[in-house]
Copies of this chain bind each other. A is one copy, B any other.
Amino acid sequence: MAKAVLTPQAANFPAWYQDVVARAELAETGPVRGSMVVRPWGYAIWELMQADMDRRIKATGAVNAAFPMFIPMSFLEKEQEHVDGFSPELAVVTHGGGEELAEPLAVRPTSETVVNHYFARWVQSHRDLPLMLNLWNSVVRWELRPRLFLRTTEFLWQEGHTAHATREEAVEETRRMLEVYRRFMEETLAISVVTGEKSPGERFAGAEHTYTCEALMRDGKALQMGTSHDLGHNFARAFDIRFSDAEGEHRHAATTSWGTSTRMIGGVIMVHGDDHGLRLPPAIAPHQVVVLQLDEEAEVAAAAARLEADLRGAGVRAHLDARTHTSFGRRSVDWELKGVPVRIELGARELVSGRATLVRRDDRSKTSAPLDGAARAAVALLDEIQDGLLAASRTFREEHTHPVTDLDEFTARVGEGGLFLAAWSGAEESERVLGERTGATIRCLVDAEPPAPTCLVTGEPARHTVLLGRAY
């Protein structure tokens, strides 16, 4: 048995998380506080997520573009709530080309302002609408308590920005993208999420409505995995995005924005990971199957290469590990740490028996298959693993979601972790009280009967059912 290389989750979940990120070679702390170096294994996961998400976004009719990272401070100030929301987080460029700049520049914390500035130039007629853009870039928000992938000063993401003729269409777009995100998270990341509207206290600065995807991590804390914002006419008014409608009337467009980031990698780690390391859903595994060549004999090497070719022929991202001079234990521990879904062990013994050993990463169970059927057996396992991880994520979330009707009971139980359903009056002040008393926040409003007739916090008549929890 290889000795444990990670702090166990039960002993110290944050230490386990740091260990996995380091040992699976996903990322490292950057040289500037809060910044991050995404190492090749982490970046390969991101590339697969990007490619999948990009296809889904383009299927909605949006197209990609690029906008500058430097934004004049005056742009940010045009939408008051927006500048208030981002001011304390900005990185500011004051010098360029060896001189002090006349106007300081913000490094984009998000691109609503600059995109909507250009929307105003590009949108003249109703025939220019809808205008649907997506950007893949990185943004900067100064972080005092950084954590790799979850909260870093600079992070990689996609940000969508759209303009529509009517509020109705913009709301429809906001919800469509929330659904695109939900399906991506479930189908690709194998993470079950709750979707719903954010409360006013958690809304994006400048939005009329913010919708979110919330997932439950294995330590019982919630993680916001993606958001979609109905910006109403706020940015269109601030940046003067007007179009002439079919009757020749000039009207303001309605805009939206929506984003997901490398934070989702943090979610994948904390939803699927176990005490042996990462467990990657096959859809985003850079190597879906590793063929572990156990002996250096030419016949073994040939059989291992043949199996790798079979797997590739079957559309599998296969990798042949022929490092026979490195110990079996070290190699198998490494691939477990890195979360490779299936490992196939193939040595002289397997050649004699005519059967290879397949090891699943999810439950670490072993099966064997005839050499010429091993690729097919691996493909079947990959499907099972992808489905199994999602099912486990859904079961875990459901089993750790509880209705609560009494604030004292909630305060006592919130430390156990998990999500809680409660009745809420909708009073903004109660959000603050809730946070101060329990450390929990309203993750989102959900479409369900309130578990009590009166608000958990204020005792006023219940107007909403909310999902509560402590969050990253």
CA distance A143 to B37 in the complex (A): 28
* Bound Cα distance from A36 to B43, whole angstroms: 26
* Cβ 8 A contact of A68, one of B31, B65, B117: B31
CA distance A137 to B94 in the complex (A): 22
**Which residues does chain B contribute within 8 Å of A179, judged by CB atoms?**
none
Among listed A69-77, A227-235, A311-319, A399-407, interface-contacting one: A69-77
The verdict on A142 contacting B40 (CB below 8 Å), with A68-B31, A68-B35 known, is no
- Interface residue? A93 (CB, 8 A): yes
Range class of the A interface residue count: 35 or more
Beta-carbon contact of B88 and A98 below 8 Å = yes
Q: Does A30 contact B (CB under 8 A)?
A: yes
A348 interfacial by beta-carbon distance below 8 Å: no
Q: What B residues does A43 contact at CB under 8 A? A: 63-66
A89 near B97: Cβ-Cβ < 8 Å:
yes
Instruction: Name the distance in Å between A121's Cβ and chain B's nearest Cβ.
Output: 8
**Residues from 9 to 58 in A contacting B, C-beta threshold 8 Å:** 28, 30-32, 35-40, 43-44, 46-47
Bound state CA distance, A143 and B144, in angstroms?
Answer: 33
CB distance from A246 to the nearest CB of B (A): 13
Say yes or no: A92-B87 contact (C-beta < 8 A), given A31-B72, A43-B64. no
Is A105 positioned at the interface, with any CB of B under 8 Å from its CB?
Answer: yes
Given A37-B118, A72-B32, A66 contacting B156 (CB threshold 8 A): yes
Contact A92 B92, beta carbon cutoff 8 Å: no
A138 adjacent to chain B (CB < 8 Å):
yes
| Docked-complex contact A68 and B107, CB < 8 angstroms | no
The reply to whether A63 and B35 form a contact with Cβ atoms under 8 Å apart is no
Is the beta-carbon distance between B88 and A107 smaller than 8 angstroms? no
Contact A37 to B68, CB < 8 A, known contacts A31-B75, A94-B95:
yes
With an 8 A cutoff between CB atoms, is A114 at the interface? yes
Q: What are the nearest 9 A-B pairs in CB distance?
A: A97-B142, A35-B68, A38-B66, A40-B63, A30-B68, A92-B95, A91-B96, A94-B94, A32-B70
CB distance from A285 to the nearest CB of B (A): 15
Contacts of A117 in B (CB 8 A): 31
A97 near B31 with CB under 8 A, answer no
Given contacts A43-B64, A63-B40, A133-B40, contact A138 B69 (CB under 8 A): yes
* CB contact between A64 and one of B44, B66, B138, B142 (< 8 Å): that residue: B44
A44 to B64, CA, bound (A): 7
